[in-house]
Amino acid sequence: MLKTFDLVLIGVMTATAAVTYTIKHRAELKLEEVHRLEAEIKLEEDTIDLLKADWALQSQPNRLERLVKAYEGELQLQPTDSTALVHAKELPMLKSEVPVPDVTEAKAGAKGATLASAKGVPGAVKAQPVPMPAPRGEAEDNADQIETGSVE
């Protein structure tokens, strides 16, 4: 009886050793994968730093000025007039602020337009108003002013 019990224990011990070895092997493979991913991340971070430095060199004002002078004939660049700048309230409204047309009115208007155009009735369809930017005036709203950090 002692021999069968010993054989069972030896079998359990061997199975436990095999399971432990496979778990250890999988953990080592995952650790290698983590090291590989860390190396890839480090390479990407170094590449990003290199590209940022290259962009800083490429966009230096002195370099851009030299390029503008060198290619002045082909590009025909002109300085921006100060009157070409606009305030935020002069820009058209955002897409989220545009009123949504009623679908039933649009379908009815389209049918009415085809009937009116067939009958020759001018202006049968009512046009939607086009949003326009607010005109510049002396009294400007301070809520729409953009802070530029300049000193007045």
Does residue 113 lie within any of the structural domains?
no
- Give the count of domains, the chain: 1
**Of 13-17, 83-87, 132-136, the least confident:** 132-136
Whether 104 shows a pLDDT value over 70: the answer reads no
* Residue 2 CA to its chain's centroid (Å): 73
Does residue 80 lie within any of the structural domains?
no
Whether 94 shows a pLDDT value over 70: the answer reads yes
User: Between 87 and 44, whose confidence is greater?
Assistant: 44
Mean pLDDT of the 44-61 span: 94
Using CA atoms, how far residue 144 sits from 65, 96, 132, 137, in Å, is: 33, 18, 16, 13
**Cβ pair 116, 124 in contact under 8 A:** yes
Does residue 144 lie within any of the structural domains?
no
Does residue 53 lie within any of the structural domains?
yes
Does residue 15 lie within any of the structural domains?
yes
Does residue 35 lie within any of the structural domains?
yes
The parent domain of residue 50 ranges over 2-73
Closest CA to 10 of 57, 140, 21, 2: 2
Give the pLDDT of residue 108. Answer: 55
Whether 143 shows a pLDDT value over 50: the answer reads no
pLDDT digits (tens, 9 = 90+) for 106-138: 555 555 555 445 455 555 555 556 666 656 654
pTM for the structure as a whole:
0.42
Does residue 85 lie within any of the structural domains?
no
Per the prediction, the chain carries an average pLDDT of 77
Mean pLDDT of the 94-104 span: 72
- Token readout for 140 is 């400007």
Cβ contacts of residue 122 below 8 Å, gap of 6+?
Answer: 116
Give the pLDDT of residue 150. Answer: 47
Whether 52 shows a pLDDT value over 90: the answer reads yes
Does residue 126 lie within any of the structural domains?
no
User: Between 107 and 144, whose confidence is greater?
Assistant: 107
One-letter amino acid identity for 140?
Answer: E
One-letter amino acid identity for 139?
Answer: A
* Residue 4 CA to its chain's centroid (Å): 70
